[in-house]
Structure 1
Amino acid sequence: MIEKIIPWIKGKRVLLLGFGREGQSTYHVIKQAGGYASLDIADLASPAQRPDEEARWITGPGYQSCMDDYDVVFKSPGIVLEKPIEEYRCQILSQTEVFFQCFRDQIIGITGTKGKSTVTSLLYHILKNAGMDTMILGNIGIPALDHMEEVRPDTKIVFELSCHQLEYMTVSPHIGILVNIHEEHLDHYGTMEKYVAAKQNIFKNQKTDDILICNVQCLPESGTCPSMLIKAGVNEPGTDLSVAEEPDGTWIRFRGRAYRIPVDEIRLLGQHNYFDIGVVYGVCAILGMDDGAFTAGLKTYEPLPHRLQYLGERDGVRYYDDSISTICDTTIQALKTLKDTDTVLIGGMDRGIDYRELIEYLSECQVSHIILMEATGKRIYQEIYKFYPEFKDRPRLILAEHLEDGVRRAMQITRPGHSCVLSPAAASYGIFKNFEERGEVFARLVFHS
């Protein structure tokens, strides 16, 4: 299978732009394939150890200025190009682009601001559990080109896609899933319109016999989606794929099928997760899976860490890690799900997102203690006192400098028999390496202090 990438590199001067996990993966695959004229690497930082003395390294602030000296540039997802892509003479590719060019007919691609990792991992687990030949790749942390050799003609490829991977894509998956779009990554894109445009590449290059399952909250504009559109929603009338809370349970309805989610027998909590289950059910139904096989997989699925993850109990208080939460909506969903929350910890790096929706929800909710940390915590606190005189029960607001102070205060004030949840509604960058480290530090502070 690795020979499939040779047409892109044969006789070409090749540059890798970025040498993180994906850049290193691309390097090893291209080296193995061979046939290129040269293979060089450009990155802002100079690596501690260079894997190849033959390769030319371009590092430092001007590392992107050499791009047009090459025929082909493989760009890593997180790198922001300094010019519009059409201004470069070189061909700019990515791992994802090349992999999709090879296997797009077998790919189920999933994107969204929140929930995409849950949908990706749940779909993979249920397909695998049902005995299907399947693999999981992409933004979930598994570089695609590393696994080209494992793809067989019947393999179903479940592929998580970030906005950065989609930004310059010219090919879309056979089945696309757009879970939702919320305000996010504006520090990278500058405008919401550019961020939305990146996400919409999940469907813009689909064909007429392809499928898009899309949340009704972010439907494509008329005429922009060439594939079959399946509208999905929670308690939304007129949807093709409906998730509805009814007196006798939560039901998924799709193409004449009705399926009641066994909420008391699964580990995924909350309405947002029931929507994710609904979307996965839709894909499984399209692939011909029966309800028994779907239920068997759903019941054995273990949720990903840091996504409203129950950590345990200490001194009668139940602690939950929702460190994945970097926007208002996910914190609101966490508090709607954990109805016994006595204390919530909010705050992190400030990327300038609008916190009005969260402030208005916090004013009305029954949470007794709202601990506000870091730059966004301070900003929320100041905005409430300046612009929201009607905010209910302001003494609930507690300022804390960092997570350590916030946890110490939470452990003092949270009432036994209730829950305490870390759901920051903000990024972790500049404070922690990533949201995973933030969640791990929270658990350590709670149980090992």
Structure 2
Amino acid sequence: MQKEQQQLAELVKGKKVAFIGAGVSHKTLIEEFVGLGAHVTLCDKKNSVDDFGSYAETIRRLGIDLSLGEHYMDGFRGQDIILRTPGFEYYQKPLQDAIAAGTLVTSEVELFFDYCPCEIVGVTGSDGKTTTTTLISKFYEAAGRKVHLGGNIGAALLPMLPDVAPEDVAVVELSSFQLISMRKSPKIAVVTNVTPNHLDHHKDMQEYIDAKRNILLHQVPPCREVLGYENDITRSMVPDCKGKQVWFTRLHDTDNGAFLRGDGMLCMAEDGVVTPFLAQKDIKLRGLHNIENLLAAAAAVWGEVPIEAIQKVGSTFTGVEHRIEPVRVLDGVTYYNDSIGTSPTRTIAGLRSFDQKVILIAGGYDKHIPYEPLAPEVIAHVKNLVLMGATGPRIEKAVCEHPDFAASGLTIQHADTMQHAVELARAAAQPGDIIILSPASASFDLYPNFEVRGREFKKIVNELK
């Protein structure tokens, strides 16, 4: 057992440890913690052990205590450690009472940061996190480094700990839900932008911003901070930076960071030297927002990897699933899956990626964020709008109340299901048209996450006759 794993074992051995929920990462960790000698309690809204399906057998085999149902948070009392899942609101009173009583409240990601022996690069923001994180990981891989990729991007990091060596690099996507309670920051931190999001979860916009700031607040020099210049909130984070702060920007030249030059070259300016490193025409990623993601990723690894690694990845990488992902061409109509469009700003970026008006499928779960900024973009870039879900009427209201709507010729229809939405969009399409799913909303009204939503859309499109 390596040193870091031994330290984790010393933390949990003989301790009473409560896990909130049995998601994918917690299922792995529960088994590991029991093996390390912890006394585990699983706290979950489910009403009985049988509600866990196939995992019920594991619960019985491991002898886990259960605190279930309406009062599942009663299980927090008397615990030495509580592992919070990102979806559980940090400031709920039972959790804060446990902290006041001396319980260590932490999470899988926080424990990884505590014990990880290698350099950590962290990325957060309202938009662009996953593409930027993926690009950074690919830059390091192209340079020959072993990369551990995880966090909000999908894979749990703590179970990777036995395989992490000091010379490796961990590249971590971090959501506001993960950051809100974190007291350690990565050596290299990227904040892409901060726009209204998850206001159904955070008490207000300031709490959301403060959660994002945690990626910077606990850095220890020498460190690096990459901030989006075009966003007022990220620009205001400069006083939080403790190391070498650089910008990324698509719209301005800068003498401190990565930028898109007027001649179409992506450049890096640092220490008085401007280095062009990639031509915009050679980039395979669709959309100007992905130019920004590439600039952010390059600024993060500048000096850490050879320029050739950035050039190789930048000129070959075609994107991440559910992000303006081509699905199919049928009857001359091209279908795109942009299910990652869980907020208006993401959908706006997707719409701006096309040089023609599109047929847009939008709507979903309501995160209580404003749709007025989406309205002029829909009018400018959409010719047929198919709406579904709880936010459908809110999006329609914002669009119809815009002063340019009456003269736009935009048609709006409503669908009950994804199948219905695809059928309505197909019926409205002519050869040469583009149909894009970019909901500007979360998926939780109909789907567990945006990935499941996107895959259902792709399945329906691929089954069209």
TM-score (norm 2): 0.89
Which residue of structure 2 lines up, in the alignment, with residue 435 of structure 1? Answer: 450
SS in 2 for 1:378: helix
Alignment of 1:271 onto 2:292: no
1:215 is aligned to 228
- Equivalent in 130, 143, 156 of residue 143 of structure 2: 130
Report the more deviating stretch, 395-404 or 14-23: 395-404
Contact 2:253–2:260 under 8 Å retained in 1: no
Q: Gapped runs of 5+ residues in structure 2?
A: none
Give 1:282 deviation, angstroms: 1.6
For 1:161-216, what per-residue CA distance to the aligned partner results, in whole angstroms no more than 9, with x for missing partners?
12111110111111111111121111111211111111111111111321111112
3-state SS in 2 of match to 1:295 = helix
| 1:19 match: secondary structure | coil
2:350 to 334, 350, 353: 334
Instruction: Encode CA deviations 1:229-265: one digit per residue, 9 max, x unaligned.
Output: 222222134462232252x324232312423534444
Q: Equivalent residue of 1:62, what SS?
A: helix
Alignment of 1:177-326 (within 5 A): 177-216=190-229, 217=231, 218-221=234-237, 223-238=239-254, 240-244=256-260, 246=262, 248-255=263-270, 256-287=273-304, 289-326=305-342
**Residue 185 of structure 2: SS of its match in structure 1?**
coil
The aligned counterpart of 2:8 is 5
Confirm or deny: 8 A CA contact 2:118 2:168 kept in the other structure. Answer: no
Query: What SS class does the counterpart of residue 200 from structure 1 fall into?
Result: helix
Query: In the alignment, is the contact (CA less than 8 A) between 1:130 and 1:297 conserved in 2?
Result: no
Equivalent residue, structure 1, for 2:396: 381
Distance 1:31 1:301, change over 3 A: farther
CA distance in 2 between partners of 1:245 and 1:358 (Å): 28
Q: Provide the residue aligned with 2:72 in structure 1.
A: 63
Give deviations 1:371-391, integer Å, cap 9, x for gaps. 222221222223443x33442
Distance 1:32 1:264 in 2: 53
Q: CA separation of 1:428/1:264 partners in 2, compared to 1, >3 Å: closer, same or farther? A: same
Q: Does 1:397 align with 2:414?
A: no
With normalisation by structure 1, the TM-score equals 0.92
Alpha carbons of 1:250 and 1:317: their partners in 2 closer, same or farther (altered >3 Å)?
Answer: farther
Contact 1:22/1:76 (CA < 8 Å) preserved in 2? no
Q: Where does residue 39 of structure 1 map in the other structure? A: 40
Equivalent-residue separation in structure 2 for 1:104 and 1:172 (angstroms): 14
Q: Report how many residues are paired.
A: 443
Is residue 87 of structure 1 aligned with residue 103 of structure 2?
Answer: no
Root-mean-square deviation (Å): 2.1
Shift of 1:95: 1.3
Structure 2 match to 1:30: 33
Call closer, same or farther: CA 1:398–1:8 in 2, change over 3 Å.
same
What is aligned with 2:436? 421
Distance 1:384 1:284 in 2: 41
User: How far apart are the structure 2 equivalents of 1:166 and 1:343?
Assistant: 36
- What percentage of aligned pairs have identical amino acids? 27
Quick one: structure 1 residues 245 and 231, their matched pair in 2 at CA, closer, same or farther if it must change by over 3 Å? closer
SS in 2 for 1:119: helix
Q: Which stretch shows the higher mean deviation, 217-226 or 415-424?
A: 217-226
Relative to structure 1, is the Cα distance of residues 304 and 351 closer, same or farther in structure 2, using a 3 angstrom cutoff? same
Find the aligned partners of 1:312 and 1:39 in 2 and give their Cα distance: 48
Superposed counterparts of 1:95-110, under 5 Å: 95-103=108-116, 106-110=119-123
Deviation at 1:284?
Answer: 2.5
Cα gap change, 1:176/1:369 in structure 2, threshold over 3 Å: closer, same or farther? Answer: same
Counterpart-to-counterpart distance in 2, 1:443 and 1:422: 10
Change in 2 beyond 3 A, CA 1:230/1:222: closer
Conservation of the 8 A alpha-carbon contact between 1:107 and 1:157: yes
* Greater Cα offset, 391-400 or 127-136: 391-400
Of the structure 1 ranges 294-303 and 140-149, higher mean CA displacement relative to structure 2 is found in: 294-303
- The verdict on how the C-alpha distance between 1:355 and 1:209 changes in structure 2, with shifts beyond 3 A counting, is same
Tell me the secondary structure at the aligned position of residue 286 of structure 1: coil
Moved over 6 A (4+): none
Output the CA distance in 1 between the equivalents of 2:204 and 2:33: 35
